[in-house]
């Protein structure tokens, strides 16, 4: 009997719905932002589930959470599997959470089967993948892969001025008695299961995606500085209206990113100060999220963005700060073949596809053989309470993950 035969789809779904209660709101919404008390409570639930399976919980200086199934050869580097437990402010029940719960389900299946792998297998929940509270995101996986949590990262503040370092300290203080592992320890392989967050698998009617790679991205914050003035008295030709300058920039950037047509450009954050109806806006802060599989296209649109910000600033001033730059990446074909082989042996239909969304797997790819397994989500909707995945697809993904982890942990 293969380990994946012990995967229990009902248990998987139950844990997913239990986890969704942490930050859960109406119509499937979940607000479980990074390093909040809501996420602390969710982490405690994950630790409870792990302890019930006699897994060894641990954390590190970046508050990454690990639940370890010991192997028969403790000196061997472990296999890691997981994703992130934090969500967007108005997120759904599956983004990130599925990868963590599917990895726990795989370990649960090994326990049920009475199997002990050669290598330890660690379920992981990475810190701050989503970047909505603290930007840039993927803090935990970046710190793990680089072996350090820099002072600059600890100084990142949220909209309320809370330092990431202080929020981390609060989470770690709540992790009572969890051993602190070093950042940057050796890992044999990493596998992340995730909803596709796109429509490809659902349209194809295929339950499993073997992810070929992740598209490149640049992220920015643009600050436009004008001057507050009286809406009734200040002459328009004499105003330094930060909002009108920002609107000109965003309209021009939108037009500049229309070709090639598959460029993904998003202005998702847009803050106006003092944001008062009868005051000419003094300052605007907005975000730019630029993505494309071809790094040369990202570079070309990057140059256009910089030129537009400079040209459209007058009579205000503007600063553009790049907060993230990650190139496109391809996951190792040998590991993709192993995942495809597991799916084929289980008789589960699968296909290769690239990831348009970002994932922690990007950073593990820099330190160990890494693979991702996608399952379909309804209409590709994500970062939205309407996010939905079919239980049968989630179970299929967990079965392929279980088989994959077993093969990796027995190497
Ligand atoms: O933005 C992303 O691609 C990821 O969902 N955080
Ligand atoms: Mn995600
Ligand atoms: Mn996400």
In this predicted structure, what is the pLDDT of residue 146?
97
Handedness of CA 182, 134, 368, 366 (dihedral sign): negative
Count the Cβ atoms, other than its own, within 10 Å of residue 108.
26
CA 369 – CA 81 distance, rounded (Å): 12
Is the CB of 326 within 6 Å of ligand 1? no
75 Cα to the center of ligand 1, angstroms: 35
359 alpha carbon to ligand 3 midpoint, in Å? Answer: 8
Percent above pLDDT 70 for the chain: 100
Average pLDDT taken over every residue of the chain: 97
Say if ligand 1 is within 6 A of residue 387 CB: no
Residues 6+ apart with CB under 8 A from 202: 196, 376, 377, 378, 379, 380
pLDDT exceeds 80 at position 176: no
User: What is the Cα–Cα distance from 14 to 116, expressed in whole angstroms?
Assistant: 25
Protein residue closest via CA to atom 2 of ligand 1: 358
Distance from Cα 43 to the centre of ligand 1, integer Å? 21
Q: Which range, of 47-51, 160-164, 172-176, 244-248, averages the lowest pLDDT?
A: 172-176
Q: Is the CB of 136 under 6 A from ligand 1?
A: no
Of 340, 347, 342, give the one whose Cα is nearest residue 407: 342
Whether the per-residue pLDDT at 1 is higher than 80: the answer is no
Domains along the sequence of the chain with CATH: 3-215+328-409 (3.40.630.10), 216-326 (3.30.70.360)
Share of the chain above pLDDT 90, in %: 97
pLDDT for 63 beyond 90: yes
Q: Judge whether residue 301 has pLDDT over 90.
A: yes
- For the chain, give the longest Cα–Cα distance: 80
User: Once rounded to an integer, what is the mean pLDDT over residues 296-316?
Assistant: 96
Question: Over the stretch 200-242, which tens digit does the pLDDT of each residue have?
Answer: 999 999 999 999 999 999 999 999 999 999 999 999 999 999 9
Q: How far is the CA of 282 from the centre of ligand 3 (A)?
A: 32
CB 309 within 8 A of CB 320: yes
Q: Which of 198, 358, 360 to mutate to test the pocket of ligand 1 (most atoms within 8 A of CB)?
A: 358
pLDDT of residue 261: 79
Task: Name the residue with tokens 């929940």.
Answer: 125
Q: Of 215, 235, 364, nearest to 295 (Cα)?
A: 215
CB atoms within 10 A of CB 400: 31
Read off the tokens for 81.
């599997």
Nearest atom (ligand 1) to Cα of 197? 5
Alpha carbon separation from 305 to 17, 24, 131, 222, 272 (Å, rounded): 42, 37, 22, 10, 20
Mean pLDDT score, 325-344: 98
* CA 193 distance to own-chain centroid: 12
Does the C-beta of 342 come closer than 6 Å to ligand 1? no
For 119, other C-beta atoms within 10 Å of its C-beta total 24
Nearest residue to 85 (alpha-carbon basis) of 63, 54, 106: 63
Distance from the Cα of residue 378 to its chain's centroid: 19
pLDDT (tens digit per residue) in 261-289: 789 999 999 999 999 999 999 999 999 99
* Residue nearest to ligand 1 atom 4, measured at CA: 358
Nearest CA to ligand 1 atom 6: 130
HSE-up (13 A, CA, CB side) for residue 340:
13
pLDDT at 38: 97
Where does the pLDDT of residue 391 fall: very low under 50, low under 70, confident under 90, or very high at 90 and above?
A: very high
Question: What is residue 45's predicted lDDT score, i.e. its pLDDT?
Answer: 98
Mean pLDDT of 33-42: 97
Q: Report CA(84)–ligand 2 centroid distance (Å).
A: 7
Question: For residue 405, what pLDDT is reported?
Answer: 98
pTM of the entire predicted model: 0.95
Please tell me the predicted confidence (pLDDT) of residue 187: 98
SS3 246: helix
Q: What is the pLDDT of residue 2?
A: 84
Query: Strand ranges (DSSP E) for 176-278?
Result: 180-181, 189-195, 208-214, 216-225, 229-230, 264-266, 270-273
Mean pLDDT within 91-99: 98
Q: What is the pLDDT of residues 241-255, one digit of tens each?
A: 999 999 999 999 999
Closest atom of ligand 1 to 289 CA is 1
Give me 36's structure tokens: 């909040």
Q: DSSP readout, 162-188?
A: -BHHHHHHHHHHHSTT--EEPSS---S
Per-residue pLDDT at 260: 78
Q: How many CB atoms lie within 10 A of CB 311?
A: 12
């Amino acid at each position: 009997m293969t380990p994946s035969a012990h995967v229990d789809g009902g248990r998987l779904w139950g844990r997913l719905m239990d986890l969704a209660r942490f930050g859960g709101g109406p119509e499937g919404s979940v607000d479980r932002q990074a390093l909040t008390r809501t996420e602390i409570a969710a982490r405690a639930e994950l630790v409870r589930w792990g302890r019930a399976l006699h897994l060894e919980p641990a954390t590190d200086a970046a508050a990454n959470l690990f639940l370890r199934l010991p192997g028969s050869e403790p000196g061997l580097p472990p296999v890691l599997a997981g994703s992130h437990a934090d969500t967007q402010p108005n997120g759904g029940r599956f983004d990130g959470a599925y990868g963590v719960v599917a990895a726990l389900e795989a370990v649960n299946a090994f326990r049920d089967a009475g199997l002990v792998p050669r290598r330890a297998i660690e379920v992981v929940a990475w810190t701050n993948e989503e970047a909505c509270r603290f930007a840039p995101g993927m803090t935990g996986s970046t710190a793990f892969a680089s072996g350090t949590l820099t002072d600059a990262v600890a100084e990142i503040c949220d909209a309320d001025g809370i330092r990431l370092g202080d929020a981390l300290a609060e989470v770690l203080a709540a992790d009572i008695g969890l051993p602190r592992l070093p950042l940057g320890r050796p890992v044999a392989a990493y596998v992340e299961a995730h909803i596709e967050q796109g429509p490809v698998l659902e349209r194809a009617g295929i339950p499993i995606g073997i992810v070929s790679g992740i598209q490149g991205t640049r992220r920015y914050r643009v600050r436009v500085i004008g001057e507050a003035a009286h809406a009734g008295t200040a002459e328009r030709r004499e105003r330094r209206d930060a909002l009108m300058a920002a609107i000109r920039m965003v309209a021009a950037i939108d037009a500049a990113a229309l070709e090639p047509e598959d460029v993904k450009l998003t202005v998702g954050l847009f803050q106006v100060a003092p944001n008062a109806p009868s005051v000419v806006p003094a300052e605007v802060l907005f975000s730019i999220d630029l993505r494309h599989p071809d790094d040369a296209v990202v570079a070309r649109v990057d140059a256009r963005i910089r030129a537009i910000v400079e040209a459209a600033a007058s009579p205000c001033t503007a600063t553009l700060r790049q907060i993230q730059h990650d190139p496109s990446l391809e996951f190792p074909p040998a590991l993709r073949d192993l995942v495809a082989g597991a799916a084929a042996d289980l008789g589960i239909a699968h296909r290769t596809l690239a990831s348009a969304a970002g994932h922690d797997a990007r950073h593990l790819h820099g330190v160990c053989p890494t693979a991702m397994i996608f399952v379909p989500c309804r209409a590709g909707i994500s970062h939205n309470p309407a996010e939905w995945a079919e239980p049968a697809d989630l179970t299929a993904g967990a079965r392929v993950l279980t088989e994959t982890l077993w093969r990796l942990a027995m190497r």
